[in-house]
Amino acid sequence: MALAVENALKYQQAENSAVTDYLTGLPNARSLFLQLDRELARCKRDNSSLIVMVSDMDGFKQINDRFGHLEGNRVLRLFAQALKDTCREYDYVARMGGDEFVIVAPGLTAETATKKADSLRELAKQAGVEVCGEDILSLSVGQAVYPGDGKDAESLLAEADRRMYIEKQEQPSRKNRRTYPRMKCRVTIELRPEDGDSPVFGNLTDISLGGCFVETSAILTPGAKVRLVFSIDDGRMQAEGSVVRIDPGCGVAIRFNDMGRDEREKMHRVLEFVHNTTMFYDNRYFSKLLNR
């Protein structure tokens, strides 16, 4: 009899571990897909809607690097508990893995979902402050609505995930793995060394509010001060900084000078210009490929 009870307990534990995240106690990705399929079947029967919200922490790697993985785990547990405490009893909260969490919210309106996303960002911020004692953590959130954005679990999660990453790229004021969000790009810019050397051209490959990386064959020394001209045609989009790293044969990493409010606003316009220019050339490139 005792052996049968023990085996039953072991079976239950194994069954729970298959659908539950060990760290946070939330349902895991496997459980999420099963539940979302059930919710979608109910929505189809009732002709109702639901919203899927995918969230990903910005700055979590920095917490692990600076404070250690045990403190990172504390942040995840705190945030997971806050999600459970603040969601409705019929919402479904799951951890997809890493620092990515998903909420399935039946019947939630778009307006309410937007307010909910703001509250999630605040919960992430509070978790970071409680563990690390500083404002180090933020959250990017993407939403997808059934049936408008997809009619199955995979398409809804993919669309919410896509929108979440768009938010990461379009919110340069939010922290992520490198203190500031990095935007991948491909724009030809001009470098003007302060010491009077002739200007040189380079390919800007990523940029943030804090700095950028430029592919160039020019020889610049660490600490060298440079002016970067992003809009070569009219010269209006500019920034100043200093070389912090040299990758021989590849390029240079540049940190922008400290900025006040006015300078940050200008840099936001630079980021927008770089984003739009990159998209323009990407679209033209893909258009040529499709027309071959």
Domain ranges of the chain: 16-170, 183-290
pLDDT digits (tens, 9 = 90+) for 171-222: 554 444 445 567 788 888 999 988 766 788 888 888 888 889 998 878 888 8
Query: Which architecture does CATH list for 16-170?
Result: 2-Layer Sandwich (3.30)
pLDDT per residue as tens digits for the range 1-25: 554 444 444 434 434 447 898 889 9
Q: What is the pLDDT of residues 148-171, one digit of tens each?
A: 999 999 899 999 988 998 888 765
Catalytic, 91? Answer: no
Burial class (CB in 10 A: 0-12, 13-18, 19+), 17: exposed
User: How far from the centroid of its chain's Cα atoms is residue 45's Cα?
Assistant: 35
pLDDT of residue 220: 84
Query: pTM of this prediction?
Result: 0.56
Q: Is residue 144 within 8 Å of residue 52, measured between CB atoms?
A: yes
User: ∠ CA 231-234-236 to the nearest 5 degrees?
Assistant: 65
Residue 97, pLDDT above cutoff 60: yes
> Looking at 56, 58, 91, 99, which residue is catalytic?
99
CA distance 21 to 9: 18
The listed range with the strongest mean pLDDT (18-22, 54-58, 258-262) is 54-58
Query: What topology does CATH give the domain 183-290?
Result: Thrombin, subunit H (2.40.10)
Instruction: Let me know how long the chain is.
Output: 292
DSSP the chain: -HHHHHHHHHHHHHHHHHHB-TTT-SB-HHHHHHHHHHHHHHHHHHT--EEEEEEEEESHHHHHHHH-HHHHHHHHHHHHHHHHHHS-TTSEEEEEETTEEEEEEET--HHHHHHHHHHHHHHHHHHHHHHHSSS--EEEEEEEEETTT-SSHHHHHHHHHHHHHHHHHH-TTS--TTSS--EEEEEEEEEEETTSPPPEEEEEEEE-SSEEEEE------TT-EEEEES-TTT--SEEEEEEEEEETTTEEEEEEPP--HHHHHHHHHHHHHHHHHHHHHHHHHHHHHHT-
Q: In degrees rounded to 5, what are phi and psi of residue 25?
A: 80, 0
What is the arithmetic mean of pLDDT over 232-256? 86
> Average pLDDT in the 19-43 region?
92
Q: Is the pLDDT of residue 113 over 70?
A: yes
Residue with tokens 């070569």: 232
Confidence tier at 291 by pLDDT (50, 70, 90): low
Only one residue has tokens 């938010």, namely 167
